[in-house]
Amino acid sequence: MARFDVTDAEWALIEPLLPVAATGPLPRRVRDHFNGVLWRFRTGSGWRDVPERYGPWSTVYSRFNGWARAGVFQGLMGALIAEAAGRGLVGLELVSVDSTVVRAHQDSSGLAVAGETLDALEQALTEEKGAPLAKQPPVWRVVHHRPMRARPVQARRVRIVPRHGAVAKPGRGLPGSAGPAAG
């Protein structure tokens, strides 16, 4: 059975980025819980299938949920990419997008990117690949939403129905009404 635990060298990079509460006892099994989260996502199984060696599945899930809400994984990813870039181990050939998994909402097309950001991305790509990109038309597309037109108010027809038991006779109004036949 393959184990998915992080090595000691990897843990030395990861451990300082995991939050520890200012008060209370230090968690003893943080590394086991982190390995349990990795195991769960590497195997694609459910939380209840996390092996007991990583601790109770509910504790592993609770730890993951807290870390996800606190933004720990984004910070961890940024720090690990920065560490790899510092060692010269980052390249654009490592970037991969699988269209069967990544789905974009229909409204996600047409993102307006600032000119400075676009220039910086183009320069970084040119430096990485060593050849300038061909001139392309600008990618600016601003979507203007038309304001909603107000619908015209339509008059509703109201039908007056006599009260239960009250019967109108020909030529006479309803009892209690002040009509021409009331007298």
57-70 helix and 30-43 helix, angle to the nearest 10 degrees: 90
Structure-model confidence comparison of residues 166 and 10, the more confident one: 10
Q: Which of 27-41, 65-79, 160-174 has the lowest mean pLDDT?
A: 160-174
37 near 9, Cβ under 8 Å? no
Distance CA 127, CA 136 (A): 18
Per-residue pLDDT reduced to its tens digit, 107-166? 666 666 777 787 787 778 777 766 665 655 454 544 555 666 777 767 777 677 666 665
pLDDT at 88 (0 to 100): 81
Query: Of the spans 70-79, 129-138, 169-178, which averages the highest pLDDT?
Result: 70-79
Position 51 scores a pLDDT of: 92
* C-beta separation of 5 from 42 below 8 A: no
